[in-house]
């Protein structure tokens, strides 16, 4: 039995019951129409946010403070909760059209960077299934010395985030 995609409901004004406002330093960067039951089913963070006695549980618009650079990764992560698939915007880098080994290496690092950024956001919002998906994607990228050292340096930045595994 295959999983049912709920992507049709993602960011839908007619089906949503809440709006997440992604903010940085008080400025709204993006608004996402969400269904709180879907986010709650995937994350104890969102379940607590929507079901406890905090003011956010009854608000129609909920602000999520994020660093500006994390907003696109948060959007991608939330979208994947509906579709079941992590999808990246790789228009600025395409590994299949790389014409040199240097471009191929840059494309590989770009892909790793995307995965690590989504992994960081998944850990912050306790979305274990997508955290595990990111780790699985990292395992599929060919292991090179350059990749291993890059991953090690990037993961050191995330030491403060506890593993949700």
Residues 44-82 pLDDT 10s: 999 999 998 878 788 889 999 999 889 999 999 999 999
Model confidence at 38, pLDDT cuts 50, 70, 90, reads very high
CA distances from 47 to 36, 66, 91, 120 (A): 8, 19, 34, 19
CA distance linking residue 9 with residue 56, whole number of Å = 22
Residue whose token pair is 């228009």: 91
Mean pLDDT of the chain: 80
Position 35 scores a pLDDT of 96
What are the residues whose beta carbons fall under 8 Å from the beta carbon of 87, sequence distance 6 or more?
Answer: 76, 79, 80
How many angstroms from the chain centroid is the CA of residue 70?
Answer: 8
pTM metric for this prediction:
0.76
Q: 88 versus 10: which is more confidently predicted?
A: 10
Position 99 scores a pLDDT of 46
Q: What is the DSSP letter of 9?
A: G
Mean pLDDT over 140-156 rounds to: 72
Position 157 scores a pLDDT of 61
CA distance linking residue 86 with residue 76, whole number of Å = 7
Closest CA to 60 of 11, 32, 19: 19
The answer to whether the CB of 15 falls within 8 A of the CB of 59 is no
The region of weakest confidence among 39-48, 91-100, 124-133 is: 91-100
The answer to whether the CB of 39 falls within 8 A of the CB of 9 is no
Mean pLDDT over 9-23 rounds to: 94
Residue whose token pair is 């274990």: 128
């Amino acid at each position: 039995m295959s999983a049912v995609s709920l992507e049709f409901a993602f960011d839908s004004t007619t089906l949503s019951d809440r709006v997440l406002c992604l903010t940085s330093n008080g400025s709204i960067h993006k608004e996402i129409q969400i269904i709180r039951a879907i986010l709650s089913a995937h994350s104890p963070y969102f379940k607590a946010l929507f079901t406890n006695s905090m003011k956010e549980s009854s608000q129609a618009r909920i602000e999520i403070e994020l660093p500006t650079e994390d907003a696109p990764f948060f959007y991608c992560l939330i979208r994947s909760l509906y579709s079941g698939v992590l999808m990246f915007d790789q228009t600025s880098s395409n590994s299949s059209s790389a014409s040199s080994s240097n471009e191929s290496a840059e494309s590989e690092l770009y892909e790793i960077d995307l995965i690590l950024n989504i992994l960081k956001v998944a850990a912050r919002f306790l979305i274990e299934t997508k955290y595990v998906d990111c780790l699985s994607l990292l395992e599929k990228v060919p292991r090179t010395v350059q990749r291993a050292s890059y991953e090690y340096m990037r993961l050191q930045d995330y030491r403060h985030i506890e593993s949700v595994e």
